[in-house]
Structure 1
Amino acid sequence: MGHSEENSDVAARQKAIDDWLPVTGSRNAKWWSSAFHNLTAMVGAGVLSLPFAMSNMGWGPGATVLILSWVITLYTLWQMVEMHEMVPGKRFDRYHELGQHAFGDKLGLWIVVPQQVVVEVGTCIVYMVTGGKSLKKVHDTLCPDCKDIKTSYWIVIFASVNIVLAQCPNLNSISAISFVAAAMSLIYSTIAWGASINKGIEANVDYGSRATSSADAVFNFFSALGDVAFAYAGHNVVLEIQATMPSSEDTPSKKPMWRGVILAYIGVAFCYLPVAFIGYYMFGNSVDDNILITLERPAWLIAAANLFVFVHVVGGYQVFAMPVFDMIETYMVTKLNFPPSTALRVTTRTIYVALTMLIGICIPFFGSLLGFLGGFAFAPTSYFLPCIIWLKLKKPKKFGLSWTINWICIILGVMLMIVSPIGALRNIILSAKNYEFFS
């Protein structure tokens, strides 16, 4: 008698915690909300740096890397969606739970959590800076004669919007924010390539290497690979997004999830490829590392595009912050025995947003650092960690199709993980003399 009562108490407490946590709190999401979340997580403001990445790789290698990345990351995303419910009656609601299932409780946490934290917190900090800079650009474009306002103040404005939105209890409750953000990413990508066509090809456009030496060319190429890896980094939140889907024996959550992913990936191709190819085609190697900077005219359109970037980055911040909130709140409730409450949520989330804001203000050149960190964390979580888990759990036949494809992805992913931080580190060193803290 005593045991079953204890068990039901434990189960009831666990259910109360699950219902309160942001990832598992609400499981009635529709397939299209997975499309918005995935699109918002995937299409970061990174899309605007793709023409620049192309100019560092050239036509052939650039097109190959972009399309190959699209294919590989779609494949690894499919694997993660499939593995979400590979154990009957159990759902891996979080990336690290899948890692723990594959590598054991201790090791699984150590493999997945640090990388996931680097990606998610790193993205939040970069979005702080991007959001602040986009707002500043709107102000400067519309009012060139106004008094110059420091980027730091714009970052504070961005942060205050996010402190309010961060109080949305779970992933499902930010579907509307995600929808708006996903729409914005499609709109500003279209503005970027549409305005490029409108501006026409530069008079003496040059597709040659912008590098002055062969060493330069190699390092620029490495760094461009890092930019591309950063552009395809939605995998860190994919299981968490799938956790919001209902699931039954007839319709497992992978069905609606996969429909959403396909739609999101069509959106990704629609954003990335035209921007990368048309932007590079029009400006050659004179393109800036943000295509919106290369397009100065018409002023109202560029201001609008920057405003859309701002709105999109707000949504992206929320999608990436949710799993972090989930980790912090799980820890507070299960390990430190805080009762699940609104006060706890408001406190932890406000502190988190404030911390990412402070780091963003102190280190406004965090983008270059992300290329460095991104190589270590983005490449594994998106390109090859899912493949390793798949090989370990599904044990496909040696030298069979699945086995071979996974090993190819792992080898390419590991190479990416090694070379992209090298390129980024060199960029950091070269531009370090211009860096100013608290700029």
Structure 2
Amino acid sequence: MGIQDESSTQDQGYEHITTKKTAREIEVDKWLPITSSRKAKWWYSAFHNVTAMVGAGVLGLPYAMSNLRWGPGITILVISWIITLYTLWQMVEMHEMVPGKRFDRYHELGQEAFGEKLGLWIVVPQQLVVEISVDIVYMVTGGKSLKKFHDTVCPDCKQIKLTYFIAIFASAHLVLSQLPNFNSISGVSLAAAVMSLSYSTIAWGASVDKGKQPEVSYDYRHHSTPGRVFGFFGALGDVAFAYAGHNVVLEIQATIPSTPENPSKKPMWRGVVVAYIVVALCYFPVALIGYWAFGNNVEDNILMSLEKPRWLIAMANMFVVIHVVGSYQIYAMPVFDMMETVLVKKLNFAPSFTLRLITRSLYVLITMFIGMTFPFFGGLLGFFGGLVFAPTTYFLPCVMWLAIYKPKRFSLSWITNWICIILGVLLMVLAPIGGLRQIILDASKYKFYS
């Protein structure tokens, strides 16, 4: 089958040039969430990427700065922005590097780079841990922000357990998780992207309004040497967590139509550039102004440090809730795709609404249960940020690029990719140590389901 034949199928791309597909396989692809609709425009890429990237992690950046201090903190933020933009560009380029074929999922690219079986084993566990861990953290964030909203609006009301707020947040996802694919959640994603810009602006704007606090200190947050070292490691994980959109970028690009004359990488890249400008407008002011105002006394979520004006902080927390509703769905969609692919292609279940209802509801309930059991926001960011975000965001795209394109040794491309790989591996080794220590410290003072 030629490229022209392929592009004439529904919105270019159900059939790969390299594999003949049966009628059932084509039908299943039209049902699966990633490949069911290829009608997205470049601005879908922009707000999906903003929603995926500017998550709850931005609110933890002033806390990360308090463990890094001014010089290292600014350096690490800027380097992370540059490296992750570069690795994102590589993934967009690699989406259609084989003529007539699209790598619609991260693991398909892994299989091209490392082989059919090894590629699956390298990519799938990491991608699943990233997406599930993000959704667990967002369960906690959504619940905490709802609780903060309630407590701010009604300080004299009876105290309600965080557990109940996480359950309320999860109930919205039991409904939204039934939306079939990326394009169907574009409205939710757009609202989430607008909210992320809004609450980031409130976070740094309210910090400016509050001003530099009396007796603010920019010294290390911890006084002991082990505390400083572990704090530094955990902060690296916080920063890594903040740049996490790579795990869904190929799946987002898969929704954009593509022909040999107009490959999907052009509109996708335009959307990514817009998204990264928004990322910079959110991250740098929040991180630097939040740290300037509160110094080493800043909370692990900057909005928790801001008490007044009350109505503004309540509004910001509600914006966070709306944002993480969208972000949760963006990260859940590839997980739904994997679950449904296994059930329908490997276990031969019939594609149906009932199958979708059961599997997706079960996923929401599991992430809710884990979020209720372990709501250690700061430690979770550092631990997961280092352990799995560093590979999939900072250096796995570079390893794939070297494996597939094989740039000449000591060429600019070769050197750049090896620098990213070395920095990414260091991040992967060091960051979880700090995050794990923070979780242990939080757990020692925590009562389950309080």
Do they superpose with TM above 0.5? yes
Q: Which residue of 2 aligns with 1:252?
A: 263
Structure 2 CA distance for aligned equivalents of residues 216 and 355 of structure 1: 33
Task: Indicate yes or no: 2:201 matched with 1:190.
Answer: yes
CA drift of 1:15 comes to 1.1
Cα deviation, 1:336-384, whole Å, max 9, x if unaligned, reads 1011111111111111111111111122226524422331210000000
Structure 2 CA distance for aligned equivalents of residues 126 and 367 of structure 1: 10
Quick check: 203-212 or 419-428, which moved more?
203-212
Q: Which residue of 2 aligns with 1:428?
A: 439
Q: 1:366 to 1:294 in 2, by over 3 A?
A: closer
Q: CA RMSD for the aligned pairs?
A: 1.2
Task: Indicate yes or no: 2:65 matched with 1:58.
Answer: no
Structure 1 CA distance for aligned equivalents of residues 364 and 265 of structure 2: 32
Q: Which residue of 1 aligns with 2:326?
A: 315
Counterparts of 1:276-291 in structure 2 under 5 Å? Answer: 276-291=287-302
CA drift of 1:281 comes to 1.3
Task: Indicate yes or no: 2:95 matched with 1:78.
Answer: no
Pick one of 243, 248, 267 that aligns with 1:232: 243
Conserved 8 A contact 1:225-1:420: yes
Counterparts of 1:200-239 in structure 2 under 5 Å? Answer: 200-239=211-250
Structure 1 CA distance for aligned equivalents of residues 144 and 222 of structure 2: 28
Q: Secondary structure at the match of 1:26?
A: coil
Counterparts of 1:5-24 in structure 2 under 5 Å? Answer: 10-24=21-35
Quick check: 156-165 or 368-377, which moved more?
368-377
Structure 1 CA distance for aligned equivalents of residues 76 and 290 of structure 2: 16
Pick one of 101, 105, 109 that aligns with 2:120: 109
Task: Indicate yes or no: 2:412 matched with 1:396.
Answer: no
Q: Secondary structure at the match of 2:263?
A: coil
In structure 1, stretches of 5+ residues that fail to align are 1-7
Structure 2 CA distance for aligned equivalents of residues 27 and 9 of structure 1: 20
Q: Which residue of 2 aligns with 1:341?
A: 352
Q: Which residue of 2 aligns with 1:437?
A: 448
Q: Which residue of 2 aligns with 1:43?
A: 54
Structure 2 CA distance for aligned equivalents of residues 367 and 343 of structure 1: 37
Conserved 8 A contact 1:364-1:437: no
Structure 1 CA distance for aligned equivalents of residues 403 and 69 of structure 2: 37
Cα deviation, 1:67-117, whole Å, max 9, x if unaligned, reads 000000000000000000000110000000000111111110110000001
Quick check: 292-301 or 278-287, which moved more?
278-287
Pick one of 20, 31, 47 that aligns with 2:42: 31
Counterpart amino acid of 2:437? R
Q: 1:367 to 1:290 in 2, by over 3 A?
A: closer
Conserved 8 A contact 2:237-2:384: no
Quick check: 286-295 or 186-195, which moved more?
286-295
Conserved 8 A contact 1:360-1:366: no
Structure 2 CA distance for aligned equivalents of residues 362 and 432 of structure 1: 11
Pick one of 309, 315, 322 that aligns with 1:298: 309
Conserved 8 A contact 1:125-1:366: no
Task: Indicate yes or no: 2:180 matched with 1:164.
Answer: no
CA drift of 1:157 comes to 1.0
CA drift of 1:14 comes to 1.3
Quick check: 194-203 or 367-376, which moved more?
367-376
Q: Secondary structure at the match of 1:204?
A: coil
Counterparts of 1:144-163 in structure 2 under 5 Å? Answer: 144-163=155-174
Cα deviation, 1:97-145, whole Å, max 9, x if unaligned, reads 0001111111101100000010001111111111111111111001011
Identity in percent: 69
Counterpart amino acid of 1:393? I
How many residue pairs align between the two structures?
432
Conserved 8 A contact 1:122-1:370: no
Conserved 8 A contact 2:300-2:377: no
Counterpart amino acid of 1:327? M
Structure 2 CA distance for aligned equivalents of residues 197 and 160 of structure 1: 36
Conserved 8 A contact 1:126-1:367: no
Structure 1 CA distance for aligned equivalents of residues 443 and 92 of structure 2: 41
Counterparts of 1:81-100 in structure 2 under 5 Å? Answer: 81-100=92-111
Q: Secondary structure at the match of 1:185?
A: helix
CA drift of 1:300 comes to 0.6
CA drift of 1:435 comes to 2.2
Q: Which residue of 2 aligns with 1:130?
A: 141
Counterpart amino acid of 2:116? D
Counterpart amino acid of 2:113? A
Task: Indicate yes or no: 2:409 matched with 1:405.
Answer: no
User: TM-score normalised to the size of structure 1?
Assistant: 0.97
In structure 2, stretches of 5+ residues that fail to align are 1-18
CA drift of 1:277 comes to 0.7
Q: Secondary structure at the match of 1:211?
A: coil
Q: Secondary structure at the match of 1:91?
A: coil
Counterpart amino acid of 1:74? L
Task: Indicate yes or no: 2:388 matched with 1:385.
Answer: no
Conserved 8 A contact 2:47-2:190: yes
Q: Which residue of 2 aligns with 1:329?
A: 340
Counterpart amino acid of 1:164? V
Q: Which residue of 2 aligns with 1:4?
A: none
Conserved 8 A contact 2:238-2:381: no
Q: Secondary structure at the match of 1:144?
A: coil
Counterpart amino acid of 2:92? V
CA drift of 1:9 comes to 9.6
Conserved 8 A contact 1:364-1:438: no
Quick check: 336-345 or 307-316, which moved more?
336-345
CA drift of 1:434 comes to 0.7
Structure 2 CA distance for aligned equivalents of residues 70 and 235 of structure 1: 13
Q: Which residue of 1 aligns with 2:11?
A: none
Q: Which residue of 2 aligns with 1:359?
A: 370
